[in-house]
Structure 1
Amino acid sequence: MGHQLGLVWVAPFALLLLSIAVLPLLIPRWWESNLNKGLVSATFALPVLFYIFRLDSSRLIETGIEYTAFIVLLAALFIISGGIHLRGSLPGTPFTNTVVLAMGAILANFIGTTGASMLLIRPILRTNERRRHRAHIVVFFIFIVSNIGGLLTPLGDPPLFLGFLRGVPFEWTLKLLPHWLLMITALLIIFYVWDRRWFEAERATHQGAVREDLGVQEKLSVEGKVNFLLLLGVLMVAFVVGRFGVQIGLQSEYARRGGQVVGMGILAGLSMLMTRRETRDVNGFAFYPIVEVAVIFAGIFATMIPALAILEARGGDLGLTHPWQFFWVTGSLSGFLDNAPTYLTFASMASGLMGTEAARLDQLLRATTGGLHGEALLTAISVGAVSMGANTYIGNGPNFMVRAIAEEAGIKMPSFFGYMKYTIGILLPLFLLVTLVFFRP
């Protein structure tokens, strides 16, 4: 299909991204409505959907199933984690914030970047509710917890889970520990210095910063503990159905995705039934953030079909041969396209380059040709897809959700381009360092 599509069909995707970036600045009050966001998504998505339906209806069905599984996973984690409330208070100090971010980076590998983000974003916002400057805390939260933190296990981020389903051994991603340590350590140090600067400025001018010696004001306790079991259930559904779907009677990929959707939907429903309403109320729980993600990403999934199809058909013309090239191209596109299909697209390209079967990434790991190792290519693709999903609000599902929750809490978050100023100033130099240390030609 990619050979039949002209580059003009990438325009709806580019225009949708431009709308997401510009409309909140031009007409902020109008843009607040999820209905209006849906209208914008539909305006750009419908022409693409009609044309793709004529060319290849099966591709449309496949994308629809992927979108449904994507949204149901996010919604289940959002609903279940929204039923967990950490009661008590911590001082909103740079040290406390840094510890929470470090814990989130570890936790993301066990309950996914989405689960860790939804579990920790509200507590860290409450911890810093007396702080005046909080937007930078949320930005670093997205960098660390919502993206780079989930690099060490297939449960951490969707691209790695897809790789696991295609034959990558579960423990292989632990080889990415050096990359994880370098990026997480660097970001935590930068964050601590940054947050310390604002903390001292606020304390000096009495602008609401908590004092460093306040300590814990109220005994810490957890409400809604049953939701921890339900979070574990979500991971078990994703793992068992995805890995052992054939053995339990789900023969086709569509059946396995359907099984995951049903299982996660049931767990989300149980969370709503088993969690006290007071617990959700004190969390400020509302469906607005997940609805916003659903309508925005509906348009993104639809309009990115031509872009991904063109990459699959003509990606070989890009001339990618070295790990550093795969790292940067996979990562750069993951910041604007969903990082899971981008990962699969470039993993398939790497498999073709190494003469192995695209659907079997375990073969890619063992392949060597002309002094080039398939494992080095897959490492570069994995690190690029996961880490550079932090480059924009739309690079990874949790990014938009965290932003929406922060704005609901009254934090004025950077615009689409304002956020990218952080990524250019902080993440770009970090990724250059990663290239020099790990992927230098």
Structure 2
Amino acid sequence: MAISLAAITGFYYLMRREGFHAPHHDLPHGWPSLEAVLWDAIAIEYVPFIVLLFSLFTISGGINLRGDLPAHPLTNTAFLACGAVLASFIGTTGAAMLLIRPLLQVNSERRHTVHTVLFFIFLVANIGGSLLPIGDPPLFLGYLQGVPFLWTLNLWKPWLFCVVILLAVYYVWDTLAYRHETARDIYVDETRREPLKILGGINVLFLAGVVLAVALLDPSKPIPGTSWKPFPYMRELVQLALAGLSWRFTSRAVREANKFNFHAIAEVAALFLGIFITMQAPVEILRLQGHELGLTQPWQFFWATGALSSVLDNAPTYVVFFSTACSLDQGTSLLKVSLGQIDESLLVAISCGAVFMGANTYIGNGPNFMVKSIAEQSGVKMPSFFGYMLISGLVLIPLFALVTLLFFAPR
């Protein structure tokens, strides 16, 4: 379906009477416009994006965390807290795939575990990945659009607020749930203990290498401390090399323990190829006419971006509203990006809306469905699509209302 929509978009640009309106110039209609659209969509945006996801997916798939601790509320809360921090450094997908199976193993003796998986989705698969561009796909797309690598650290206040509140709510919820466990289940949980240990630890070095490659090898800027600019796609080649080293030096038994295969990343690659091409048309329209939507305030961008991120994937949604904000060219603190300038307060709101509200539904962010599938394979009876929305709405919407009042309300 995604590829079919991409083909329709390509045909539209080939046949329409006017040319493609690039950020800084217009192109003739026909083949020149189609070539420019495909170049922007695939060479400039899609290739760096999918190489990063592939590298993080491959390397994190070579790390196996195993063990069985007592499933106390404090233990589970610590798991979620660690995952929320880790997600910014190895990506929400990497952190989710690394931690969900050990967390389920720790809670295998308990009967009330659904809420633990739900908060795992909220914290690790979504909100946790807010602090670095490699944390969540929308932020990496912003980085490709010219947002500085460390700029996302500006999100630390809303990130910390959401993480602390959700951990506190989870701890209370899990404490109440723990009291409803049977004495036999608690006894089994207390007596079955296995210290946590990490297999495939060399991959931590490869993950660090990916972070450094993304941060330092920007072809538009010289490497810090030098006047030399990396050649095009050097960043991607380094990431692929690190993924190759991970594959070569990780024991096959570790990947088998993780049930690792490339099916999930292959599906993501096909889906996002279609998305990146298809979204060129709405991005072009919003770049030219976004100022006519009436969105001018941070709180409006937070909720508009978040609402669409809940029902669409949050990565293309981010790009759409990023383009809209660039078309406004207003504000006291403007950040230079590839499309021109963007008000930093709007960029904070767009970033938080895309990353945070990807947790509202199973389809808001890629890892959500993966976590759901793994949990169900482990015997956890997960809520239906709308059942999940009901629970996430009751937990997250009041939280996001507080975020709006504290960080995005008009002053």
Aligned position for 1:370: none
Aligned position for 1:90: 69
Q: Give the partner amino acid of 1:434.
A: V
Aligned position for 2:353: 384
Give runs of aligned pairs for residues 180-199 of structure 1, distance below 5 A. 180-199=159-178
Once residues 270 and 174 of structure 1 are traced to their aligned partners in structure 2, the CA distance between those partners, rounded to angstroms, is: 30
What secondary structure is seen at the aligned counterpart in 2 of 1:188?
Answer: helix
Aligned position for 1:20: none
Aligned position for 1:314: 289
Aligned position for 1:350: 325
In the TM superposition, what is the alpha-carbon distance from 1:337 to its structure 2 partner? 4.2
Once residues 371 and 42 of structure 2 are traced to their aligned partners in structure 1, the CA distance between those partners, rounded to angstroms, is: 24
TM-score (normalizing by structure 1): 0.75
Once residues 58 and 189 of structure 2 are traced to their aligned partners in structure 1, the CA distance between those partners, rounded to angstroms, is: 35
Aligned position for 1:7: none
Aligned equivalent of 1:142, options 121, 125, 134:
121
User: Are 2:210 and 2:239, in contact at CA under 8 Å, matched by a contact in 1?
Assistant: yes
What secondary structure is seen at the aligned counterpart in 2 of 1:196?
Answer: helix
Aligned equivalent of 2:111, options 132, 153, 159:
132
Once residues 391 and 331 of structure 1 are traced to their aligned partners in structure 2, the CA distance between those partners, rounded to angstroms, is: 9
Aligned position for 2:29: none
User: Are 1:89 and 1:216, in contact at CA under 8 Å, matched by a contact in 2?
Assistant: yes
User: Are 1:112 and 1:157, in contact at CA under 8 Å, matched by a contact in 2?
Assistant: yes
Task: State the superposition RMSD in angstroms.
Answer: 3.2
Shift of the 217–398 alpha-carbon distance from structure 1 to 2, 3 Å rule, reads same
TM-score (normalizing by structure 2): 0.80
Shift of the 77–164 alpha-carbon distance from structure 1 to 2, 3 Å rule, reads closer
What secondary structure is seen at the aligned counterpart in 1 of 2:198?
Answer: strand
In the TM superposition, what is the alpha-carbon distance from 1:261 to its structure 2 partner? 3.4
How many pairs align?
A: 385
Shift of the 167–293 alpha-carbon distance from structure 1 to 2, 3 Å rule, reads closer
Shift of the 175–301 alpha-carbon distance from structure 1 to 2, 3 Å rule, reads closer
Aligned position for 2:298: 323
Aligned position for 1:221: 197
| Residues 225-234 or 184-193, more deviating | 184-193
More helix by share: 1
> 2:247 aligned with 1:278, yes or no?
no
Q: Give the partner amino acid of 2:266.
A: V
What secondary structure is seen at the aligned counterpart in 2 of 1:114?
Answer: helix
Q: Give the partner amino acid of 1:282.
A: A
Give runs of aligned pairs for residues 248-327 of structure 1, distance below 5 A. 250=230, 255-256=232-233, 259-327=234-302
**Percent of aligned pairs sharing the same letter:** 52
> 2:210 aligned with 1:230, yes or no?
no
Per-residue deviation, residues 136-161 of structure 1 (Å, max 9, x unmatched):
32222121112211223344334444
Once residues 68 and 162 of structure 1 are traced to their aligned partners in structure 2, the CA distance between those partners, rounded to angstroms, is: 11
Aligned equivalent of 2:42, options 52, 60, 64:
64
Aligned position for 1:17: none
Q: Give the partner amino acid of 1:185.
A: V
User: Are 2:312 and 2:364, in contact at CA under 8 Å, matched by a contact in 1?
Assistant: yes
Give runs of aligned pairs for residues 68-83 of structure 1, distance below 5 A. 68-83=47-62
Q: Give the partner amino acid of 2:391.
A: Y
Shift of the 51–375 alpha-carbon distance from structure 1 to 2, 3 Å rule, reads closer
User: Are 1:169 and 1:362, in contact at CA under 8 Å, matched by a contact in 2?
Assistant: no
| Residues 218-227 or 263-272, more deviating | 263-272
Shift of the 302–134 alpha-carbon distance from structure 1 to 2, 3 Å rule, reads farther
In the TM superposition, what is the alpha-carbon distance from 1:169 to its structure 2 partner? 5.3
> 2:307 aligned with 1:332, yes or no?
yes
Once residues 49 and 187 of structure 2 are traced to their aligned partners in structure 1, the CA distance between those partners, rounded to angstroms, is: 42
Q: Give the partner amino acid of 1:179.
A: P
Aligned position for 2:24: none
User: Are 2:88 and 2:135, in contact at CA under 8 Å, matched by a contact in 1?
Assistant: yes
In the TM superposition, what is the alpha-carbon distance from 1:124 to its structure 2 partner? 1.3
Once residues 336 and 267 of structure 1 are traced to their aligned partners in structure 2, the CA distance between those partners, rounded to angstroms, is: 34
Aligned position for 1:115: 94
Shift of the 242–167 alpha-carbon distance from structure 1 to 2, 3 Å rule, reads same
User: Are 2:335 and 2:344, in contact at CA under 8 Å, matched by a contact in 1?
Assistant: no
Aligned position for 1:371: none
Q: Tell me which of the two structures has the higher relative contact order, counting C-alpha pairs closer than 8 angstroms and 6 or more residues apart.
A: 1
What secondary structure is seen at the aligned counterpart in 1 of 2:348?
Answer: helix
> 2:20 aligned with 1:51, yes or no?
no
Long gaps (5+) in structure 2: 17-32
Aligned equivalent of 2:367, options 387, 398, 423:
398
User: Are 1:142 and 1:402, in contact at CA under 8 Å, matched by a contact in 2?
Assistant: yes
Shift of the 313–342 alpha-carbon distance from structure 1 to 2, 3 Å rule, reads farther
User: Are 1:163 and 1:361, in contact at CA under 8 Å, matched by a contact in 2?
Assistant: no
In the TM superposition, what is the alpha-carbon distance from 1:430 to its structure 2 partner? 1.1
User: Are 1:334 and 1:395, in contact at CA under 8 Å, matched by a contact in 2?
Assistant: yes
Shift of the 69–130 alpha-carbon distance from structure 1 to 2, 3 Å rule, reads farther
Once residues 173 and 121 of structure 2 are traced to their aligned partners in structure 1, the CA distance between those partners, rounded to angstroms, is: 16
Once residues 106 and 197 of structure 1 are traced to their aligned partners in structure 2, the CA distance between those partners, rounded to angstroms, is: 25
Once residues 409 and 295 of structure 1 are traced to their aligned partners in structure 2, the CA distance between those partners, rounded to angstroms, is: 28
What secondary structure is seen at the aligned counterpart in 2 of 1:125?
Answer: helix
